[in-house]
Amino acid sequence: MFNSAHLSMEQKQNQSFNPKKNKDRNVIELEKGRIPPQAIEFEEAIIGAILIDNSAINQVIDILNPESFYKDEHKLIFGAIKHLFGESQPVDILTVANHLRKNGELEAVGNEYKLIQLSQRVSSSAHSEFHARVIVQKHIQREMIGLAGRIINQAFDETTDVFELLDQAEQELFEVAHGNIVKNYESAKDLIKEAIQKIEEISHKEGLSGVPSGFTMVDRVTAGWQPSDLVILAARPGMGKTAFVLSMARNIAVDHKTPVAVFSLEMSSVQLITRLISSETELSSEKLRKGNLTDSEWQELLTKVKTLENAPLFIDDTPALSVFDLRAKCRRLVAQHGVSLIIIDYLQLMTVGGQSKGGGNREQEISTISRSLKSIAKELNVPVIALSQLSRAVETRGGDKRPLLSDLRESGAIEQDADIVSFIYRPEYYDMTEWADGTPCDGQAEFIIAKHRNGGLDNVRLRFKNTLAKFADLETNEDYGPVMVESKMNTSSFLDDEGPYDEDPF
């Protein structure tokens, strides 16, 4: 006889406790936990709809992959359907059966009888897209269960690097969220179709194919900063690296309403936003620091700063930011806010973090950081612009001190990994009065594109007004010579406040 005295306190408190009912519930939960999420009926409905109506393929072909299906025979059948669709062949019971027969897979799916069975389960292709979404959801659930299992196993392994495990887990989860978990490789045929489609889209698109910089001639050479590109902007201290990228960030976020993320390892976020306020209002940084503003200047400040308030600009001033933390933050910014450009100021102040523990020298660390930045750009499909210091070799050269690729500090990997390597050069900084061609260089700067993996090289001259540290387009008229034309975008900013890093910090 069942003795209630043997019940635990928790069981006694449950007045509806029933041993038999509780046992049945445990069995159900156990079975539920062991059987992966699936939607067999929806899988059969999708395949059946495609076999009786080819229009159903167009609704689901971009949603489903063979791996999305739970049953192996359904994977094989949908794989045959996708192949026939890619070859522009008709899709029906006969063509699918013939393709499976050629591949020796017909018997594995249950022969023609199975295909006939599937086609008889549905009467129309209505709601095919909805059915496909359900199948994808179940597939994602299965992938998350598998991912969780792998994480648990590795977390119990004492030899596992916890930071690498966290990074790997976040990357795989990011891939699941973006539907890329089953994307292993693509055929040349598929890639050519995708490339041609992209070219067609660009041909019908007004303006630039990439993210604009706000400088006419720079954008003409680059067509805007392209997705997945790593752009290195290098210069000696005081040339205006931070000023240049901060101007671009303002132009992109304010004028084009395109989300931008700035990671400042040197200056605080308040200092950066103060620069942007000064640029937007054309009030000197000294006045803003001291607060010596007239009533009219206060009014102007409060009015013009509203454009910045609503700009999709995100600033992170974490010092000594590691590659691991940067990747995690960038993923979240892209996923949550649609960030289209990432700026890092600057590369030499970054750390490797959990990916390395005290092993290599500084050159190896910079190489790791450089490769990681390129990996982030490719993974998130956004351009990454990283500022970099130049070595002192520039200062020791006589005559023309224009920077060279060999002047990049500490690692040749920076040059190797970057899609674009650019420099900022102001001859006026070295007390020079004219360019090599004999034209005056007063108040001018040069944006040098020294490496361009997917385009041409060029030296773009920009107007630079020293009192305001203001960059503007410099256009050349053959009849009247060089003239200053203010960019349609407000590119005013201030020079790098390198502080203690005026000399090489490493």
What's 281-340 look like in SS3? Answer: HCCCHHHHHHCCCCHHHHHHHHHHCHHHHCCCEEEECCCCCEHHHHHHHHHHHHHHHCCC
Instruction: Tell me how far apart the alpha carbons of residues 365 and 427 are, in angstroms, rounded to a whole number.
Output: 32
Q: Residue 77 burial (CB < 10 Å; 0-12/13-18/19+)?
A: buried
* C-beta separation of 73 from 110 below 8 A: yes
- Residue 75, pLDDT > 50, answer yes
* DSSP SS3 for 237: coil
- Residue 18, pLDDT > 70, answer no
Give the pLDDT of residue 484.
41
Structure confidence at residue 199 as a pLDDT band (50, 70, 90): confident
Return the top range by mean pLDDT from 91-95, 241-245, 246-250, 360-364: 91-95
Domain ranges of the chain: 13-184, 213-498
How much is the mean pLDDT over the chain? 76
Give the pLDDT of residue 288.
74
Q: Would you name the residues annotated as active-site residues?
A: 266
* C-beta separation of 37 from 138 below 8 A: yes
Give the pLDDT of residue 469.
60
- Residue 460, pLDDT > 60, answer yes
Instruction: Tell me how far apart the alpha carbons of residues 469 and 424 are, in angstroms, rounded to a whole number.
Output: 13
Give the pLDDT of residue 476.
45
The two beta strands, 420-425 and 230-235, are parallel
- CA quadruple 277, 283, 286, 288: dihedral positive or negative? negative
More confident residue, 431 or 252: 252
Block residue for tokens 């094989």: 76
More confident residue, 121 or 26: 121
* C-beta separation of 387 from 345 below 8 A: yes
CATH architecture of 13-184: Orthogonal Bundle (1.10)
Return the top range by mean pLDDT from 115-124, 183-192, 284-293: 115-124
What average pLDDT does the segment 139-160 reach? 86
Question: pTM score > 0.75 for this model?
Answer: no
| The two three-digit tokens of residue 143, written as one number | 């992938």
- What CATH number should be reported for the domain whose range is 213-498? 3.40.50.300
Q: What angle do the packed helices 40-52 and 72-86 form, to 10 degrees? A: 30
More confident residue, 9 or 280: 280
Instruction: Tell me how far apart the alpha carbons of residues 462 and 426 are, in angstroms, rounded to a whole number.
Output: 10
Give the pLDDT of residue 164.
80
pLDDT tens for residues 240-263? Answer: 888 888 888 888 888 888 899 999
* C-beta separation of 326 from 380 below 8 A: no
- Residue 359, pLDDT > 60, answer no
Give the pLDDT of residue 248.
83
**Of all residues in the chain, what percent are helix, strand and coil, respectively (each to 5)?**
50, 15, 35
CB atoms within 10 A of CB 408: 25
Backbone angles phi, psi at 345, to 5 degrees: -125, 100
Containing H/E element for 71? none
The two beta strands, 313-316 and 384-389, are unpaired
Instruction: Tell me how far apart the alpha carbons of residues 43 and 420 are, in angstroms, rounded to a whole number.
Output: 47
Q: Residues 415, 411, 451, CA angle at the centre, nearest 5°?
A: 10
Block residue for tokens 């752009």: 231
Structure confidence at residue 178 as a pLDDT band (50, 70, 90): low
Alpha helices in 14-127 (DSSP H): 19-34, 40-52, 55-60, 72-86, 93-102, 106-109, 111-120
* DSSP SS3 for 88: coil
Structure confidence at residue 27 as a pLDDT band (50, 70, 90): very low
> By mean pLDDT, which of 118-132, 412-426, 477-491 is the weakest?
477-491
- Residue 45, pLDDT > 70, answer yes
Instruction: Tell me how far apart the alpha carbons of residues 64 and 133 are, in angstroms, rounded to a whole number.
Output: 8
Give the pLDDT of residue 384.
93
What average pLDDT does the segment 199-216 reach? 73
Give the pLDDT of residue 385.
92
What average pLDDT does the segment 32-53 reach? 84
What average pLDDT does the segment 295-306 reach? 79
- Residue 477, pLDDT > 80, answer no
Instruction: Tell me how far apart the alpha carbons of residues 240 and 82 are, in angstroms, rounded to a whole number.
Output: 54
- Residue 13, pLDDT > 90, answer no
pLDDT over 90, % of the chain:
4
Containing H/E element for 393? helix 393-396
First-to-final CA distance of the chain: 80
- Residue 180, pLDDT > 50, answer no
pLDDT tens for residues 381-393? Answer: 899 999 988 888 7
